[in-house]
Structure 1
């Protein structure tokens, strides 16, 4: 039996939930322009941006190394500003049998809350929980928020 893990965190941001969700959903490729020290490129390999079943390749810098993750969009809920990605290939698959990232952008009176959920099954019990990947998501969220608040978002 595998060792399953789940990490969740809420990141409070100043930007609107709909703008944040739009970047994660339809304009994912712009994240490399916003979080340049973490994300080096996001490419669409199959399908269309933001569509369920589409395959996206992330080139990113994590734990001191250049990494790659190929992800499939598993679910999109436009009404609730949520999207779920499943990692299907790449560096994370060396440590995990499965790895999913879910993002929900929740509007608040001032700004929004970005709710991240990482769910995974480790290859073996000695692999630590993915707190560094959760921190990566927090930092990337703050970069996106800063960009959206600059007013430099492309139309």
Structure 2
């Protein structure tokens, strides 16, 4: 038997494939809340979340033991929805000279296919193939799936996509896909301002359903931190196209519900 090997396994998911890809691309530090029995934490060491060359470490339990894997994000393919991580330090380097894992999501309607590929070179013939590690990543995938399916009934479910710029930067253009007043809607927005000192972000709507009713529309979310209790303030500023357009009271209710859903998620 050779020292190099490759394992491939697929699992079908019914939750949003784009959201799943975005999780591994830019938000792996959220996975510990979705699969706490397997992933205990993901930390950023170098670079920025969601960028090639960034270095992150995974703290996890595998085969009944707590382990660490330090990895560099080697490749991100947005078109094919795949992310490749190359191991550079940690427990896996005790058995393998080289080790990398790729997670790819094939989105087809409501059903999506997640493919995990593990490529490796053993240090010796005595090192086992990483079959149990493949079982581990499949279990993590299923945990993520369960987490998202448990939340599909929420009335405030949203998806956010980046169109221009980088996450967390003024001038970036993003679109929100959401359900409001029982209808699926879209809002395309530019990040107009970020105030780190006052913990506020302002989004200006530039396209989508809201532009049918309003000439101008912007929303600001501000967080006032005071010890363990924090106050979130939403401010909506708008100019109607006509007197017949309603004030966005139900949209404010929507944003408050989103805020409460985020709170529930983090408290869990």
- TM-score, normalised relative to structure 2: 0.56
Q: How does 1:70-85 map to 2 (within 5 A)?
A: 70-85=70-85
Q: Which residue of structure 1 lines up, in the alignment, with residue 25 of structure 2?
A: 25
- Which segment drifts farther, 8-17 or 90-99? 8-17
The alpha-carbon deviation at position 146 of structure 1 amounts to 1.0
Q: Which runs of 4+ in 1 moved over 3 A?
A: 152-155
Q: How does 1:11-50 map to 2 (within 5 A)?
A: 11-50=11-50
Unpaired segments ≥5 residues, structure 2: 158-261
Q: Which residue of structure 2 lines up, in the alignment, with residue 137 of structure 1?
A: 137
The alpha-carbon deviation at position 22 of structure 1 amounts to 0.8
The answer on whether the counterparts of 1:19 and 1:148 sit within 8 Å (CA) in structure 2 is no
The answer on whether the counterparts of 1:57 and 1:68 sit within 8 Å (CA) in structure 2 is yes
Unpaired segments ≥5 residues, structure 1: none
Higher relative contact order (CA 8 A, sep 6+): 1
Q: CA RMSD in A?
A: 1.6
The alpha-carbon deviation at position 50 of structure 1 amounts to 1.3
Q: Which residue of structure 1 lines up, in the alignment, with residue 229 of structure 2?
A: none
Q: Counterparts of 1:55 and 1:103 in 2: how far apart (Å)?
A: 17
Q: Deviations over 1:113-151 (max 9, x none)?
A: 100000000000121110000000100000111112122
The alpha-carbon deviation at position 29 of structure 1 amounts to 0.2
The alpha-carbon deviation at position 110 of structure 1 amounts to 2.9
Q: Counterparts of 1:40 and 1:4 in 2: how far apart (Å)?
A: 29
Aligned to 1:85, what secondary structure does the other structure show? strand
Alignment partner of 1:104 is 2:104:
yes
The alpha-carbon deviation at position 109 of structure 1 amounts to 3.2
Q: Counterparts of 1:50 and 1:109 in 2: how far apart (Å)?
A: 25
The alpha-carbon deviation at position 108 of structure 1 amounts to 2.2
The alpha-carbon deviation at position 64 of structure 1 amounts to 0.9
Q: Counterparts of 1:81 and 1:148 in 2: how far apart (Å)?
A: 18
Say how many residue pairs are matched.
Answer: 154
Q: How does 1:45-60 map to 2 (within 5 A)?
A: 45-60=45-60
The answer on whether the counterparts of 1:101 and 1:117 sit within 8 Å (CA) in structure 2 is yes
The answer on whether the counterparts of 1:31 and 1:144 sit within 8 Å (CA) in structure 2 is yes
